[in-house]
Amino acid sequence: YLFSCVKVPADLEALQRRWRALIGTVRQERFPEFLRYHLLCEEPRIRSERLFKIVRERVKTPSDVFALMEALERRGELFAALSDATHEYWTENPACRPHVRDLLLFRVRQMTPLLFAAWERLDPADFARVLKMVSVLSFRYSVVSGLNTNELEPVYHDAAKAVLDRQARTPSDVFERLRSILVEDEKFEQDFARFVIDTSGQRKKLAKYILARLEQDATGRACDPDTDPATIEHVLPENPSAEWEGAFPREKWDAATYRLANLTLLESTANRRVGNAPYAEKVAEYAKSRYAITQEIAKRAPDAWTVEHVDDRQSRLAQRAVHVWRIDFT
């Protein structure tokens, strides 16, 4: 459709070259998603099936075509970079990398229109602060509390529009537009205290990320989930032997296995040694571990691992989580 709006051969050839370059940047299969987020900067709700109808309504002249192409080119590289924490885009903005990685891990993208706007209107340091902000909001809202993501797009649209219209000029201004989607501390702590996470597939990376952030907060030392050699240890094993029944009733096993409190970080060699071993063998390795959150298990539960210990540890981790995943502006 865009090509049909341009009649001058030279202009059409230039447009086709730019189009191919844009598609190479954002990828053909992701172009509808990219276009939708671009349009969501201006409109609060856009269904995927209406995308190209909206374009036809807005773009009627060659000047409209080139204006749209310029806007898409301006945002295309950022869209690609938001899908890759190692993208060269972040070379001069390394503070952005961990937050891009986190958002990819959380599998959330509703904030993309806001990030388009923030990149265009805010300086790099403030953009990084907005990126961190939406990462924390996403972790609380989507990952832990599991709230309805359909409510997010209109809120992010309003924030993006405010930034583009220069009504929101600072990260603090942006947060005021997003305050409605902040899961408050009390609810976040309650939800985290019940949090269960399967450790298979992609969720395993998420589990390690959470444990690494809690470890880093406990020690003040860096613990990068991508590079730290720790493995995920299940205190109550995924396949417990009958010896566990004495302290941990069999009927409670399924409910406890993937609670976050039943997971911890452990050196790989120690993890291989303990495997499905009785708790007495496991706790001896925990006491020698370099990880503070693991040593604490040995201190608080030296003799047995029980349902009560799981509840207590998860409650304490939830209190720490409120501190770890905190918005700077509350």
Q: 1-15: string of b/e by CB count within 10 Å (b at 16+)?
A: ebeebbeeeeebeeb
pLDDT at residue 309 greater than cutoff 70 = yes
Q: 103-145 pLDDT, tens per residue? A: 999 999 999 999 999 999 999 999 999 999 999 999 999 999 9
- Give the separation between CA 203 and CA 107, rounded to whole angstroms: 11
Stretch 7-29: mean pLDDT? 87
Percent of the chain surpassing pLDDT 90: 83
User: Confidence band (pLDDT; 50, 70, 90) for 60?
Assistant: confident
Quote the pLDDT of residue 329: 78
Token output for 203: 């969720």
| Interval 67-73 mean pLDDT | 92
Predicted confidence at residue 57, as pLDDT, reads: 83
Q: How far is CA 108 from CA 140, 146, 149, 328, in A?
A: 12, 12, 9, 21
Q: How far is CA 206 from CA 104, 210, 211, 262, in A?
A: 10, 6, 9, 15
- pLDDT band at residue 330, thresholds of 50, 70 and 90? low
Q: Which residue has the tokens 């109808």?
A: 53
- Mean per-residue pLDDT, 275-282: 93
Segment 88-97, tens digit of pLDDT: 999 999 999 9
| Distance of alpha carbon 58 from alpha carbon 314, whole angstroms | 53
Q: How confident is the model at residue 1 (pLDDT cuts 50, 70, 90)?
A: low
Strand partners, 232: 265
The runs of H, that is alpha helices, within 139-192 are: 152-164, 171-178, 185-192
**pLDDT tens digits, one per residue of 188-228:** 999 999 999 999 988 999 999 999 999 999 999 999 999 99
pTM of the model: 0.93
The DSSP line for 255-272 is HHHTBGGGEEEE-HHHHH
pLDDT at 50: 82
What span, in angstroms and rounded, lies between the C-alpha atoms of 57 and 48? 15
